[in-house]
Amino acid sequence: MNWSSIKTYLALTLVSLFYGINYSVLKIVVPEFMGPYGFIVLRVVTASIIFWIIHFFNREKINWKSDGWVLVLCAFTGVAVNQLLFYKGLSLTSAVNGSIIMTLTPVLVLIWAALLIGERITRTKVIGVLLGLIGAVVILYQPDEMLTSGDWRGDILVFINGASYACYLVLVKPLMKKYQPMTVVTWVFTIAILFVVPVGYNQISIVDFTTLPSYAWWSMTYTIIIVTVVVYFLNAWTLVRVNSSVVGAFIYLQPVFASLTAILFFDEIFLLKHLLAAAFVFVGVYLVTKKGANQKS
């Protein structure tokens, strides 16, 4: 494995680590201090401002005639639908249902990539994705709650959210061949403002930011700077270098890191299933990323 591949896989691992930590961090702010839709508005608008500050030093131009509609679709699928439906779906179904349904995202990436951009589906890649799926389900499995306490409408919304984000990972890849990653994510988030503000304006408008405790500010800062700005940029950067299905496969690491965070900092008990699940996930990701399973499209 060369240094370029190591950097790419390290970036994807960091993305999953940051997301995994965020499951615990986000609970500090939402819904105690801010409604979920209001927080999405804050997250998208603030991230857009930061992206524009960075993009100012680049000023790469977009060919709106040929690529404008793709950027709109990326903003809709990768930011608006992805975030809005996820929060709404979780409010209607159980966290267990939502987490398990989200493990289908890498499978959906594999399907979208084959349908939309002709990415090859190899036997090794399929086995890797399925092993990762098994590992993610094992770590999330709770017999007393498994698919019993959720509302089917919430399950459907979470599934659409996963399908939408999977579609985004595929749609945005061709843009990465034409433009710099920062240019793409800057415009994706800017356009997404048009979708999320009408939905979350009422919730964000009633928040009294002067009364928020310091730990809430630190939580918001982590989610906006690390989980939004850094993560979306790293995902975009890696899509220049590997197939969409590889980026999708690393999503399986998120429940592993989420569990580790809960064990280390929130007194969750370490169980044998955590070790077993991690083994499935790491083997699955290895198979998806190994040389021969992928050919950069």
Q: DSSP labels for 178-201?
A: HS-HHHHHHHHHHHHHHHHHHHHH
Q: How far apart are CA 297 and CA 293, in angstroms?
A: 12
The domains of the chain are located at: 3-289
Average pLDDT, the chain: 84
Report whether pLDDT(146) > 50.
no
Q: How confident is the model at residue 4 (pLDDT cuts 50, 70, 90)?
A: confident
Tokens of 289: 């990323």
Q: Give the predicted TM-score (pTM) of the model.
A: 0.82
Rounded to whole angstroms, what are the CA distances from 183 to 15, 168, 187, 271, 281?
A: 19, 16, 6, 44, 32
- Which tens digit of pLDDT belongs to each residue from 165-191? 989 999 999 999 899 999 999 999 999
Taking alpha carbons only, the member of 267, 264, 182, 193 closest to residue 229 is: 182
For 85-103, the pLDDT digits (tens) are 887 777 776 555 666 677 7
Q: Which pLDDT score, from 0 to 100, does residue 140 have?
A: 63
Q: Once rounded to an integer, what is the mean pLDDT over residues 272-287?
A: 78
